[in-house]
Amino acid sequence: MSGLHNTRAYWSGVLAMTLCVFVLIASEFMPVSLLTPIAGDLHITEGLAGQGIALSGALASLTISRLTGSLDRKWLLLGLTALMAASGLMIALASSFPVYMLGRALIGIVIGGFWSMSAATAIRLVPQRQVPRALAIFNGGDAPGPPVEGK
């Protein structure tokens, strides 16, 4: 990648990040519809199981950029992807509330880290004229946000 003025499009990178967007959104919001089974499996109340959703949201709001500013973005995103997989396994196999909460905390770190750098990374993967297409593909499964002015 040669920065903001790429002449080559790295669509495989855009598609890989799109897959991560899908998995992150599913990881973030799927537990909302699974609170009853989660609570039953962990022998806790549904309200307590819901705290895992609040925890991941709170951690996602923290900035990770200060801690990772000097790291190579490619390796950081790969590391966050590995952490996402590990947290998903931890949550799926959790046999206790603390393990469930640790898994949710890890997914919160991933969400915060990924979203803080994802658009800027996607922009660097394609030539400037293809950025709108790349961002549309990248955010295709995301909830709509405010309208964006531009080309």
The pLDDT profile of the chain, 151 residues, written as one tens digit per residue, is: 445 556 889 999 999 888 888 888 888 888 888 999 999 999 999 999 988 888 776 666 565 666 666 778 888 889 999 999 999 999 999 999 999 999 998 998 888 888 878 888 888 899 999 999 998 888 876 655 545 555 4
Q: What is the pLDDT of residue 6?
A: 64
| Interatomic CA distance for residues 40 and 16, integer angstroms | 35
Helix (H, G, I), strand (E, B) or coil at 41: helix
Q: What is the pLDDT of residue 60?
A: 62
Give whole-number Cα distances, 113 to 24, 30, 60, 64, 65, in Å: 11, 20, 7, 5, 7
Q: What is the pLDDT of residue 5?
A: 58
Is the separation of the CB atoms in 103 and 56 below 8 Å?
Answer: no
